[in-house]
Amino acid sequence: MSSPLSVGLIGAGWIGSFHAETLASRLPNTRLAAVADPVPGAAERFSGVRAYRDPLQLIADPDVQAVAICSPATSHADLVVAAAQAGKHVFCEKPMALTLDDADRAIEAARTAGVALQVGFNRRFATDFAAMRARIDAGEIGTPQLLRSLTRDPGISAEVAARVKPWTIFNETLIHDFDTLCWLNPGARVTEVYAQADALVHPQFAEQGFLDTSVVQIRFDNGAFAVAEASFHAVYGYDIRGEVFGSGGVLLAGRAPEDAGKLNTELFAAAYTAQFAHFADCVLAGSEPSVTGADARIALEIALAARESIETTAPVALNGVLA
């Protein structure tokens, strides 16, 4: 067996801490070598690994073969570029970028450097979602005609809502659903996006651009209609579901609300682990990960169209988006 992949993790917050444990102890083919976080003490919490404040120092660490970027979204594209230019393989949490120019820069940097670039669309690694895609590929339900994907987060306090950046519901929450819907309708292209959204949970922050509830309609060029739906406040727990209705049947993924886990790290623990197992396998074998920078760009393009649709209160046509 080859040596485990030596990974440096950037951003030791909520999801970064969970991913750090995965890389350190849940997988046989990864090793957590270093952690970087600008907040004093944050990286030092992890024993037996080098701690940095500056992510660029972690990227320059010669013992780091790959980086896992788990810092806030605004930092992602620059860190992907810096890591790729240093010859490091990259796992980047979603969203990979917040503008299409930044997405292109990140994709190009990885391509030029010849490093792997995988984005954190963990839902693809959940066994029920993966089984759904495999059955679609096998032709079990014919041509997809109606697709649904929903994300309901388990609650948001007023204190946190006050700090949420505008458009987070599209850029960071529904981006998962946009990726899922494209992935479950293989080969189809998105032609139109129409979004409605409001602040139903914390209406007092609507004026500053806060949105906590949304429905987004997506039209594909194979005729399929899709709906992505999100709420930041499901009082019963974290609720993620998907459905594809086709010419020959229907497939479902996700659990009934009464079975939903309280946190994403409970519901998707196995999927988060499987995505890093896949990343390490690909890097060690020299193959391309199944979730690419190009996939992240497509999901971002839908997120940006959803924003435009809210601003114009009209559907937005998309040309050339490959799903």
Q: Which residues bind ligand NAD (CB under 6 A)?
A: 10-16, 36-39, 42, 55, 70-73, 75, 93-94, 120, 122, 172, 264
Q: Which is nearer to ligand NAD, 72 or 223 (CB)?
A: 72
Are 316 and 305 spatial neighbours (Cβ–Cβ below 8 Å)?
Answer: yes
Residue 30 and residue 128: Cα distance in Å, rounded? 25
Report the nearest approach of ligand NAD to the CB of residue 236 (Å).
19
Please give the span between the terminal C-alpha atoms of the chain, in angstroms, as a whole number. Answer: 36
Which residue has its beta carbon closest to ligand NAD?
A: 13
Report the nearest approach of ligand NAD to the CB of residue 238 (Å).
10
Q: Which is nearer to ligand NAD, 76 or 202 (CB)?
A: 76
Print burial letters for 259-293: b (CB count within 10 Å at least 16), e (below 16): ebbeebbebbbebbbbbbbbbbebbbeeeebebbb
Structural tokens at position 47: 């024993």
Q: Find all residues with CB under 8 Å of 61, minimum gap 6, and list them.
A: 8, 33, 34, 50, 52
Report the nearest approach of ligand NAD to the CB of residue 30 (Å).
17
Residue 45 and residue 123: Cα distance in Å, rounded? 28
Residue 187 and residue 184: Cα distance in Å, rounded? 9
Q: Which helix (H) or strand (E) holds 13?
A: none
How would you classify residue 155: left for phi > 0, otherwise alpha for psi between -120 and 50, otherwise beta?
left
Query: Which amino acid does the sequence have at 192?
Result: E
Q: Which is nearer to ligand NAD, 37 or 177 (CB)?
A: 37
CA nearest neighbour of 153 among 132, 133, 176: 176
Report the nearest approach of ligand NAD to the CB of residue 256 (Å).
21
Q: Which is nearer to ligand NAD, 70 or 226 (CB)?
A: 70
Report the nearest approach of ligand NAD to the CB of residue 75 (Å).
4
Q: Which is nearer to ligand NAD, 91 or 245 (CB)?
A: 91
Q: Which is nearer to ligand NAD, 13 or 114 (CB)?
A: 13
Report the nearest approach of ligand NAD to the CB of residue 260 (Å).
15
Q: Which is nearer to ligand NAD, 56 or 200 (CB)?
A: 56
Report the nearest approach of ligand NAD to the CB of residue 264 (Å).
5
